């Protein structure tokens, strides 16, 4: 039996370091890290971490490929940061630091089934900047969770304009296969026990994301014309909406509507809505 840690979305090696330092019996594992970025800002630190931790585990191999749902090539938007992604997002528009590249990609499920057996002990971690919304359903369809013993993932939700129901769908599909999705954050891994995603944790994440959007809008001055609509009022409304699974509502006593239904944080003027 082989013990394997598959590090999907290695970035600069944070997950390698966290796994080696905190995962039980990490020295018994071989590590396969996947990172699609071509930027020296990513590959330089990643290679440094690999060199520093190679002797702490059985082996570390880095694959300069994107994790996806087929083998071949795919467009990759390389920002030279952890936000690089195969998904073109709003924040990348007119961003001169983002380079569109054609990179190799792998079908993650095919890779696992072709290289490992169900008797191997496989720990899979995905932090792939929103691609999990395509990759996880494909893993489910292909029966790959029969091979996986522990599954960690960062679900990106509102950050890539995916709503609560779309994120809950990922959790339910994995649970149907008898597994859980465990929350992954390399900078805090090991501080607490493994935390499985559930509706409460996911709700807290959506509150955090939507609240962050509101804070950024006020900081940027985008809300200067919103008479009587304070940041505190909107944050309170977000908490109430997410806790009660209400995704669109009028803010009491104002002419504004708050809409979270698309995964974005949208504020509409009542007069405008009346005309739609």
> Which 3 state secondary structure label does DSSP give 112?
helix
Q: Measured in Å, how far apart are the chain's first and last C-alpha atoms?
A: 61
Cβ(181)–Cβ(155) below 8 Å: yes
**Domain 3-197 CATH (choose: 3.40.50, 1.10.10, 3.40.210, 2.60.40):** 3.40.50
How much is the pLDDT for 276? 30
The tally of CA atoms less than 13 A away on the side-chain side of residue 105 is 21
Express the helix, strand and coil content of the chain in percent, nearest 5 each: 40, 20, 40
pLDDT digits (tens, 9 = 90+) for 184-223: 988 888 778 899 999 999 999 999 999 999 999 999 999 9
What are the backbone angles phi and psi of residue 235, rounded to the nearest 5°? -65, -40
Check pLDDT > 90 for residue 1.
Answer: yes
Q: Is 202 helix (H, G, I), strand (E, B) or coil?
A: helix
- pLDDT score of 114 more than 80: yes
**H or E element at residue 233:** helix 231-243
48 or 94, higher pLDDT: 48
**Which tokens in the block code for residue 17?**
């370091």
Beta-ladder partners of 61: 32
Confidence check: pLDDT of 86 > 80: no
How is the chain split into domains, by residue range?
3-197, 206-275
Neighbours of 113 (CB within 10 A): 16
């Amino acid at each position: 039996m082989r013990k394997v840690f598959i590090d999907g979305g290695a970035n600069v090696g944070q997950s390698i370091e966290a796994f080696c330092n905190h995962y039980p019996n990490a020295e018994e594992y071989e590590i396969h890290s996947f990172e699609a970025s071509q930027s020296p800002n990513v590959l330089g630190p990643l290679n440094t971490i690999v060199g520093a931790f190679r002797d702490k585990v059985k082996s570390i191999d880095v694959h300069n490929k994107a994790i996806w749902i087929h083998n071949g090539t795919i467009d990759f938007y390389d920002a030279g940061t952890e936000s690089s992604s195969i998904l073109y997002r709003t924040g990348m528009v007119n961003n001169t630091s983002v380079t569109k590249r054609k990179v190799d990609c792998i079908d993650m499920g095919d890779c696992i089934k072709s290289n490992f057996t169900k008797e191997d002990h496989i720990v899979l971690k995905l932090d792939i900047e929103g691609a999990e919304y395509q990759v996880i359903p494909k893993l489910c369809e292909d029966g790959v969770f029969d091979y996986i013993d522990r599954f960690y993932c960062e679900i990106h939700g509102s950050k890539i304009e995916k709503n609560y129901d779309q994120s809950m769908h990922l959790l339910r599909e994995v649970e149907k296969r008898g597994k859980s999705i465990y929350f992954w954050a390399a900078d805090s891994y090991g501080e607490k026990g493994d935390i499985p995603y559930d509706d409460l944790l996911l709700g807290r994440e959506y509150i955090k994301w939507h609240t962050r959007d509101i804070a950024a809008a006020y900081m940027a001055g985008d809300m200067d014309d919103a008479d009587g609509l304070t940041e505190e009022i909107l944050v309170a409304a977000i908490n109430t909406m997410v806790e009660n699974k209400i995704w669109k509502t009028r803010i009491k006593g104002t002419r504004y509507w708050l809409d979270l239904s698309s995964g974005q944080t949208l504020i509409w003027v009542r007069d405008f809505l009346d005309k739609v």
